[in-house]
Amino acid sequence: MARRKAFEKEFQEAVAGKNKNRPEAKDKSPLSIWSEIAETQNEIRKVYYESILFSPPQSFNSTAFRLAADLNTYALVNETDPKRAADLTKFIEQKHYPVSQVETGFLSAHFKEANKYLGMNDAYVSAVLKHGNPDVAAANLLKKTKMYDQSFRKELLEKGPKAITTSNDPLLLLTKDAAKRHETARKKLEQLNARMAALRTRLSLMMYDAYGTRIPPDATFSLRFADGVVKAYNYNGTKAPVFTTFYGLYDRFYSFEQKYPWNLPEKWKNPPEDLLKEPVNFVSTNDIIGGNSGSPMINRNREVVGLIFDGNMESLPGNYIYLPESNRTVSVHAGGILAGMKYIYKAERIVNELLR
């Protein structure tokens, strides 16, 4: 955090220095962008919880809640946004939704989160608690609702928005307010996110103006290359090696008495000795972020030597700041892939083709 604060101070000083002689700088300080970002972020906080809590696809995976909320949303947007209404209809009209054993738990978790973030005095939370505590309310509502009845949902759609808004189904009644609040929060969040995107663009241009190409740009979903070296790091009082071997796989298998989740398929239980010393995964100093998984790891000779799939625990702060001492990318080693095909799956033709 100290390093980030120091850099931000340096960046602001660089921006101020670059703009002090510009005529437009007299009207509005270029440093005002930081307060604009803070203000926008505060506005996002005000609607964020409602946008998440009442979002039908995310409501802790409760299918019944989503169906009820989607029906209410359909009633709200049917005339103003026909395309969105049609998309909602596809989900609502699907043939059958089995009653999952975990539905009650999902819905209860949603109610508990609403209570935690909105408070007991909130209208939605008060409506929930009329049915009992979150666990009881979830059980009661799922027992009484007709959301799992396809013919009931279809009938409501055929009769139109008024039939939905006047239905006495308990889950439809409960989610009516939730759907309205989600729509309001969603629209507000769209505006705020658009404003934030514009502010970030301005900030990026200011950074380029101050530092040029000395600082690499953020990921933009475009093709990019990140360099690094294969390097060990200090780990849990010892040193993490640069690569692991198949020995580790069998150590877990026998150490945990061959039980799940460390058990192995029959094909893997009697490996040849040559397999055991082959590498499985390796670490490098490449800066990894979400979305990198599956990317090829290429050496200086332009040979694919692995596939990136994760970062180590120490890489978690990488979303905020890269720490080269212990931040590592984890990749499947190409040698391990070849060894599996050669010694276990006997895919000789593919191995020979790859080694040409």
21 lies in the same domain as 153: yes
pLDDT at residue number 36: 96
266 lies in the same domain as 190: no
199 lies in the same domain as 248: no
Last residue of a domain, one of 172, 193, 217: 217
Does a cis peptide bond (omega within 30 degrees of 0) precede residue 261? yes
27 lies in the same domain as 167: yes
How far apart CA 142 and CA 107 sit, in angstroms, is 9
251 lies in the same domain as 347: yes
Residue 268 lies in a domain: yes
95 lies in the same domain as 184: yes
Domain tally, the chain:
2
pLDDT at residue number 304: 93
pLDDT at residue number 226: 85
CA dihedral of residues 331, 333, 338, 342 (deg, nearest 10): -100
pLDDT at residue number 200: 92
Tell me the whole-structure pTM to 2 decimals: 0.69
**Which CATH number do you get for residue 332?**
2.40.10
244 lies in the same domain as 202: no
Compute mean pLDDT per 10 residues along the chain, 356 residues long, and list them: 91 86 64 95 94 78 89 94 91 79 90 92 95 95 93 94 95 94 94 96 92 78 84 94 96 96 95 96 91 92 95 89 92 97 96 91
68 lies in the same domain as 189: yes
How far apart CA 146 and CA 168 sit, in angstroms, is 10
| 40: containing domain | 16-217
pLDDT at residue number 318: 85
Residue 256 lies in a domain: yes
